[in-house]
Amino acid sequence: MTPDTKLPKVGTTIFTVMSQLAAEHGAVNLGQGFPDFDVPERLIESLNRAMREGRNQYAPMTGVPALRQAIAAKTQRCYGYLPDADSEVTVVSGASEAIFDAVHAVVRPGEEVIVLDPCYDSYEPAIDLAGGRAVHVPLDPRSFAVDWDRVRAAVTPKTRMLIVNTPHNPSGAMFGEDDIAQLSDLLRRTGIYLLSDEVYEHIVFDKLRHESVLRYPELRERAFVVSSFGKTYHCTGWKIGYCIAPPALTAELRKVHQYNSFCSFAPAQWAFAEMIEAEPEHYEQLGAFYQAKRDRFREQLLGTRLQPLPVAGGYFQLVDYSAISDLDDVAFCRWLTIEKGVTAIPLSPFYETAPAEQRLARLCFAKNETTLDAAIERLRRL
């Protein structure tokens, strides 16, 4: 018996499809966004110690207190705001869970959530499952800047939430102070909630500042702010993230969280608590670490027929392939994987309706030099 699907627009994610294709054809996989280098040694030692000390049973639903306190102290250090560890910080099983929980905490059937295209592919399914409707507002197709007039025009009496993402996946574009001013003006005197996806918060280049919503009282009082340890500490497979929100919003998020995952991998929570406090230089130096990778990879790409676009943050590089092919992006990425041995991610799955003439693909440079060099060697033959 085949059920009527609740997610008619959803199939297997493009990340899974392209990674499977990469494995089948022996391609260098620069598609899925995960590092292929080591987790910090201190973190591995702390995890091992936590397990050996018997910290292997259920964690508290809200997260291990030591970790919530470490997150709060880190937030103050980074953004000048100290959230209450007990009532405003919740540890969850990855940023994707936090996004799902936040949407389901406040979005009711028939309400609208504005998303900015291209956007991460988990946003709309979370909205659909809550009975809401995603309203897609396109970013500039080249700079990926927000047209705030178009966002304002998308607001209706049914608008319940706006989702923003900075540094942006897939483009690497970032909010500046003007974006924050426009965002504040847009939401002022409304009841619209804000979900700020900030998982790449520490991967910022060229001495730019990450404009976290947590810096701004007017925004954070209506916001769910989501982050990810997997992105910061090179351990995406551990699936630990967190959400910071005002007490009333946190209470609603926890109602969903406790019946979703209830709690997250306990030994890792203890390990992160120790890592944050003992080695703050890790996240403080993460931007410089990745900027060196970005610069090296970009310089190599200039020796190919791919045109790299500017990247202000995150660990993805968009490339324009129009000098090579007029195939649409899905077809091009399949061809690139099967025929040329390098896997990229097409941009169109991040859109409701992608620009017809856009010829862009996403490459991940969160890889060791051996992996990137192997990819470049093949890309030079295009």
Short-list 200, 231, 277, 234, CA closest to 39: 234
Q: What is the pLDDT, as a whole number, of residue 34?
A: 87
Which residues have C-beta within 8 Å of that of residue 366, sequence separation ≥ 6? 33, 34, 35, 36, 37, 234, 290, 293, 315
Residue 11 amino acid letter: G
Strand partners, 170: none
Domain 41-279 in the same topology as domain 14-39+284-379: no
Contact 11, 358 (CB under 8 A): no
Residues counted in the chain: 382
Q: What digits encode the pLDDT tens for the residues 62-100?
A: 999 999 999 999 999 999 999 999 999 999 999 999 999
Q: How many Å apart are CA 70 and CA 76, to the nearest integer?
A: 10
Q: What is the pLDDT, as a whole number, of residue 4?
A: 85
In Å, how far from its chain's centre is CA 367?
17
Q: How many Å apart are CA 20 and CA 212, to the nearest integer?
A: 35
Band the pLDDT of 191: cuts 50, 70, 90. very high
Q: How many Å apart are CA 52 and CA 72, to the nearest integer?
A: 27
Q: How many Å apart are CA 372 and CA 116, to the nearest integer?
A: 30
The burial of 238, by beta-carbon neighbours within 10 Å (0-12 exposed, 13-18 middle, 19 or more buried), is given as buried
Q: What digits encode the pLDDT tens for the residues 253-295?
A: 999 999 999 999 999 999 999 999 999 999 999 999 999 999 9
Specify the CATH number of the domain 14-39+284-379. 3.90.1150.10
- Mean predicted confidence (pLDDT) in 168-188: 98
Contact 62, 90 (CB under 8 A): yes
Residue 219 amino acid letter: L
234: helix, strand or coil = coil
Q: Which two tokens stand for residue 307?
A: 């045109």
Band the pLDDT of 160: cuts 50, 70, 90. very high
pLDDT surpasses 80 at 1: no
Q: What is the CA radius of gyration of the chain?
A: 20
Q: What digits encode the pLDDT tens for the residues 331-381?
A: 999 999 999 999 999 999 999 999 999 999 999 999 999 999 999 999 999
- Determine phi and psi for 294, rounding to 5 degrees: -60, -50
- Determine phi and psi for 378, rounding to 5 degrees: -75, -40
- The pTM of the full predicted model, rounded to 2 decimals, is 0.97
CA distances from 65 to 18, 259, 274, 335 (A): 39, 20, 12, 49
Contact 347, 358 (CB under 8 A): yes
- Mean predicted confidence (pLDDT) in 218-233: 98
Strand partners, 342: 28
The burial of 216, by beta-carbon neighbours within 10 Å (0-12 exposed, 13-18 middle, 19 or more buried), is given as middle
- Mean predicted confidence (pLDDT) in 171-175: 98
Q: How do the domains of the chain map onto residue ranges? A: 14-39+284-379, 41-279
* DSSP element (H, E) containing 182: helix 177-187
Q: How many Å apart are CA 36 and CA 28, to the nearest integer?
A: 12
Percent of the chain with pLDDT over 90: 96
Sign of CA pseudo-dihedral 231, 238, 370, 341? negative
- Mean predicted confidence (pLDDT) in 147-171: 98
Q: What is the pLDDT, as a whole number, of residue 263?
A: 97
Matching residue, tokens 């500490």: 233
121: helix, strand or coil = coil
- Provide the Cα torsion 297, 299, 303, 304; round to 10°: 40
- Mean predicted confidence (pLDDT) in 2-16: 86
Q: What is the pLDDT, as a whole number, of residue 319?
A: 98
| CATH class for the domain made up of 41-279 | alpha beta
Which residues have C-beta within 8 Å of that of residue 335, sequence separation ≥ 6? 325, 327
Q: What digits encode the pLDDT tens for the residues 109-126?
A: 999 999 999 999 999 999
DSSP H helices in 261-312: 266-278, 281-284, 286-301
